[in-house]
A and B are shown apart, each in its own frame.
Chain A
């Protein structure tokens, strides 16, 4: 009896509970917080499975970037969430019914299956997964470093070995997806409005004393008359 099952159930229960709280929380900021918490628990589950890279990615990308962005959006937009939620109660019965049916059916489906893991301890499952990832590599067209027999690879290493070789194609297309996302974000939001002062780094760097400084001899008792576009 190790601590593994304990942690498994801990993370699972917390993840599910916080997912429910994301939906029912009254304050949207709380919702986002619960979302972050759910991510953390999922990351914990990944670690239990020996997938430490995925766990880290989850934390860095989802918690560090996506959820925080959500938080900003929620705080910046003046959206009346109470009004949005007004439909919630009305539609909840139907939603619960449909969701409940699907859930029950899927539960039935998985319970009825012999997935080949019943009776195994969580460690065994984790080992099994680690073992399953490792042998994918050899002889599949690696450019170098064919693993020595019996060598145990970490999850990160295993991913690294296949991501740029066997899965290079997916990687490239995923890159294109990101490119489209970038183009889309820029096209839909970038606006050049007249009359808005923008920071131009190139211009700032190109400044030198000759263009930015003017030495004026002030006559005693006289006034400085501003010139050029440095006028306030």
Chain B
């Protein structure tokens, strides 16, 4: 009969966040408006994230299924949720001073972020097409609003609108694919789809595959894989910088986790088919991400192409389809998120007396005015370029090693070429920072921004010495994904 309260234990993190968001909303709406309201709510939100994170870490290692198998919590889900929570907390931390200066620190921003995180966590835990969809929409809707949050700024409004319209299109395709899958498999649960897919005749199989294509298109939009990436540069540039930092981290991780889960758990028997789609997306993303970034002058646009490229590299691991490959994806995402957040902290520190600057030229001669920031930024960029012994090198190394092992040689070769090309534009920024004529120094960075910068720098540097915790956690996560007991 009705499931007892103890069986809700695995979903308590989502419950904490959802109820917390509503409480914060009430608090914000009924407290007298004041300067500090937004910041107070923001800190409460970070506290909520921390609580949730603690609960997740302390949960037992077993896998559990809830709501008639619509919702699964395993080690993979927990690992990814921890990543998402860290990404969201850091992005929120970075946003305080920015929004305070812009007189925009509304209490709705943290509330929307919390709700977006609930959506991401639902996505990560989804074990049913409907769960997938509601989670995705919850997350996306909150993100659309966040992109447009500077409503008096034309670029921000436009970013939100573009993101919304294209997102609706992608959701349409996603739903279409889902309905086809349901039509041909007769079920929405991942395990049942897997059973149907392996038992189905050739005719039904092609139907399922076409459904899967639509589904993948919808997800590819969320991770901004080429050719479904075109919103990314515009939205990254138009949205307020801390929001962009948020976009580049947590949602990508969540969507990627969802992609992994759908492919591995709902279509384990169709590896050879979806592998080809992933290879296509991966190659396109790596190449476009690398080449298109060369001409950029705006650092946020450049980061957009950089993230497109990084997703391409992460997809290399997924394409291999092996446990090694999935492990590489998980590690790649973790390292990518840290590097990206660190880089955005640096971008947020690009501030002159008369406001933020976003052009790469403005970094000229940074090494002379602010050596420590130039050094940290350079290190993060080197890491993104995949230069050893920084963390980014290992991330790339793992995915390429997995691809080679899966005998996807062309993919690995193209990946290496793309990373060489990509190194070029990262290097250009470093060159500007270190070798160009110095321009006016930046305003001193705020403490939170500096903290994030340093933390990310230490991570990419220290990874070479202590890689074991991340590798172990990733491999445990992937194993839970593979051997999830069929309920």
Residues of chain A whose beta carbon lies under 8 Å from any beta carbon of chain B: 105-106, 109, 112-115, 140-141, 143, 166-170, 173-174, 176-177, 179-181, 183-184, 186-189
Contact = CB atoms under 8 A, between A and B. Distances in A.
Nearest to B206: A109
A141 B3 contact: yes
Contacts of A167: 130
A187 B130 contact: no
Contact of A173 (B138, B184, B206): B138
Contacts of A180: 112, 115, 138, 141-142, 145
Closest 3 pairs (CB-CB, A-B): A184-B145, A169-B67, A173-B134
A113 B115 contact: no
Contacts of A176: 18, 115, 118-119, 138
A184 B138 CA distance: 12
Given A109-B207, A183-B111, 11 more contacts: A113-B207, A143-B2, A173-B138, A176-B118, A176-B138, A177-B141, A179-B115, A181-B141, A184-B112, A187-B112, A187-B151
A34 B204 CA distance: 35
Contacts of B149: 187-188
Main secondary structure of the interface of A (DSSP, over half): helix
A102 B112 CA distance: 37
20 contacts: A105-B210, A109-B207, A109-B210, A113-B184, A113-B204, A140-B68, A169-B66, A170-B131, A173-B131, A173-B134, A177-B141, A180-B112, A181-B141, A183-B111, A183-B115, A184-B112, A184-B141, A184-B144, A186-B108, A188-B160
Contacts of A184: 112, 141-142, 144-145
Nearest to B137: A177
A168 B68 CA distance: 10
A170 B108 contact: no
Contacts of A181: 141
Contact of B70 (A170, A174, A183, A189): A170
B45 to A, nearest CB: 14
A184 B118 CA distance: 16
Nearest to B164: A184
Contact of B112 (A106, A174, A183): A183
A207 to B, nearest CB: 24
Nearest to B14: A173
A47 to B, nearest CB: 20
Interface string B121-144: 010000000110011011001101
Contact of A168 (B22, B67, B137, B138): B67
A105 B210 CA distance: 10
Nearest to A172: B18
A103 B18 CA distance: 41
Contacts of B204: 113
A177 B145 CA distance: 12
A184 to B, nearest CB: 4
A109 B183 CA distance: 13
B148 interface: yes
B30 to A, nearest CB: 14
A173 B148 contact: no
B70 A106 contact: no
A169 B131 contact: yes
B32 interface: no
B19 to A, nearest CB: 11
A177 B119 CA distance: 9
Residue among A106, A141, A168, A176 with the highest chain B CB neighbour number at 10 A: A176
Most buried by A among B106, B160, B210: B210
Contacts of A141: 1-3, 68
A113 B203 contact: yes
A219 to B, nearest CB: 46
Given A109-B207, A173-B122, A176-B18, A187 B134 contact: no
